[in-house]
Structure 1
Amino acid sequence: MTSSLSRRHFLKAGAAVAGLMAVPGAMAHSMTAGCGTTGTRPYGIQMYMVRDMLAKDFKGTVKKLAAAGFKQLELFGVGGSVSAEGAPLFGLSVDDMAAMLKEYKLSVPSVHINSDLEDIDYIREMGEKLDIDYFIEPMAGEFLSFADGKVTLNQPSTVEEVKAIAARLNKRGQTMKDLGFKFAYHNHNFEFDKVDGQVIFDIMMENTDPELVKIELDLGWVAAAGHDPVAMLKKYEGRVIGCHMKDYNDSLPLTDDPRFIIPEMARIGTPGDGKSDFPAIVKLLNKQNVKYRYVEVDVTETPFEDAVRGLCHLSALG
């Protein structure tokens, strides 16, 4: 798969097209507080979902998320973010963040990291002061290229290219282990394309050390790739340490709107708004004791409301 769009539009990927995400009746009311449903498991939010809110009022947004019932936060953009300048802490110090976590009884079990691990001291400080368990790579840099003002998604053309990605992930996992942390990889849909008749994601996982490279499975992107999230969880049982809890509705139209770097983003929504079997997903996650579960919708005009609605839906499932 190869997709190209202007860098100017890519930098605006956080903008939304409301109609593409909506399911009839889903937004019948605005959710500005918790749903009043107490589930048996804590749920978190991938902070990329509320990136614009964070940029305007980081402390206020964290307070609002805690009041809504979220227990875990997953930060993003360590090493820089092309769509949210200032991430991960938008001007706050690590000490400020640690104090907020204590005040609002929140945890940060994992963080998405985009850099080449250049600032080891900052990574160590963040990991230790915020009690981070996993640093997660959200997309292999080899899948992206920047040229002539455009961002291009590139599918590897040979198995050897994929194995080279796997070798680098092993090294990153070892670096994190040496620092006292753990490492995982987060998928999109394009890792489930094939090269030389083999699924890219399978090649990546078969050629990485399962003790050094765990999986944060993005359920929405799994569905977007045409796979059953439940089946994928079973396939990689024991290696999946967390999930991005996204729904997917293939009845919604795709779009060539350049604000969506990947067209299938137009079909991704909050849990309960699509066709994924979340009762079965939650039951299996409980059975497998997958601890980290983050609500996320990549592009939406109503991120907080969507996040809370997703939290309510999941909490009701147990």
Structure 2
Amino acid sequence: MALPLASVQLYTLAKEFSEDMSGSLDKLAALGLKNVEAFDFVRRPDEIRAALDASGLASPTGHAPLLSDELWTPDGSIPTPAPEVVFEAAAKIGMTTVIDPFVPAERWFTEDGVADIAERLNRLVETAAGFGMTVGYHNHAQEFVKSFDGQSAYERFLQLTDDRVEIELDLFWAQTGGQDVPALVESLGDRLVAVHVKDGVVPTANPWAPGSESFGSDSLDQRRAGTGSVPLAESLKAGPGIRFAVIEYDKAPGDVFEDIAASYAFLREGGFVA
């Protein structure tokens, strides 16, 4: 099967992207990258599409809230856009998959909560298809805190969702959740269309478990791909159907463009991307 395409989640360079969208994308293109994964795109699809076109980049996947009634922002919570609004914006940019990036922890702690998440995604499959795209979900570590009848909340979610719901697995956060990451990758089969290539020293305890101390990205010890404890090479080899290997840092350890370049070199030199 074909090797994945390399990409970068633009949240990695959120500050730089906000300050200079075109300049940031030009720097990524200069590294040899052809794809990115957009975030916060619903309010500015035309601006992002123009900047991507000017830099010769594409955004086949993107992150947008689909499963929550409200979206938290530094200025307070606001209602999330209707799914049709999200898909219309995604279509303008040229995306093929819209991925929900985060569902709050407490909704993963009950069987009813997990069923609701799955049902919401299932209802969106046909809506997204009307715009020529698919929907997916991106994990953190809260999906692995609770178990029901021997199944993790994440496994239950997979069981309840339509096979057309695609999966983007964040390898760092899956390991933080205590998973055997290569085995999880293998078990996802053809539903796994993308992985977040992220390395570092994972937290010693799941930060979303009840009673855990509050934490933020600043507390994370994330490192360039291949230099941390996440089994990236083994995980990438375990997923022959992966279409996108998406570089991401929640907290880049140094200069963000140099850190992206180093992770991209890991993917290229290891023969993990086309």
For normalisation by structure 1, the TM-score amounts to 0.70
Spell out the pairing of 1:1-318 with structure 2 (5 A cutoff). Answer: 42-78=5-41, 89=44, 94=46, 96-114=47-65, 116-118=80-82, 120-121=84-85, 123-124=87-88, 126-140=89-103, 143=104, 153-154=105-106, 156-196=108-148, 197-211=150-164, 213-250=165-202, 260=216, 266-285=220-239, 288-300=240-252, 302-318=255-271
Segments of 5+ residues of structure 1 without an aligned counterpart are 1-39, 80-87, 144-152
Any conservation in 2 of the 1:252–1:266 contact (CA below 8 Å)? no
Checking the alignment, whether the CA contact within 8 Å between 2:36 and 2:58 is kept in structure 1 is yes
> Unaligned regions of 5+ residues in structure 2, if any?
67-79
Quick check: 1:42–1:70 contact (8 Å CA) kept in 2? no
Q: 1:254 Cα shift?
A: 9.9
CA distance in 2, matches of 1:230, 1:46: 21
Tell me how far 1:170 sits from its aligned partner: 1.0
Distance, in Å, in 2 between the alignment partners of 1:254 and 1:41 is 29
Deviation at 1:283, TM superposition (A): 2.9
State the Cα distance separating 1:48 from its structure 2 match.
Answer: 0.2
> Whose radius of gyration is greater, 1 or 2?
1
Shift of residue 157 of structure 1?
A: 3.8
> How many angstroms does 1:42 deviate by?
3.3
User: Structure 1 residues 254 and 160 mapped into 2: Cα distance closer, same or farther (>3 Å)?
Assistant: closer
Q: CA deviation at 1:221?
A: 0.6
Deviations 1:25-54 (A, max 9, x none): xxxxxxxxxxxxxxx753110000000001
Q: By how many angstroms is 1:121 displaced?
A: 4.5
TM-score, normalising length from structure 2? 0.80
Give the alignment's Cα RMSD to 1 decimal: 2.8
> Is residue 63–residue 100 contact of structure 2 (8 Å, CA) maintained in 1?
yes
- Percent of aligned pairs with the same amino acid: 26
Offset, 1:102? 3.2
Cα pair 1:270 1:296 within 8 Å, conserved: no
- Name the SS for the 2:178 alignment partner: coil
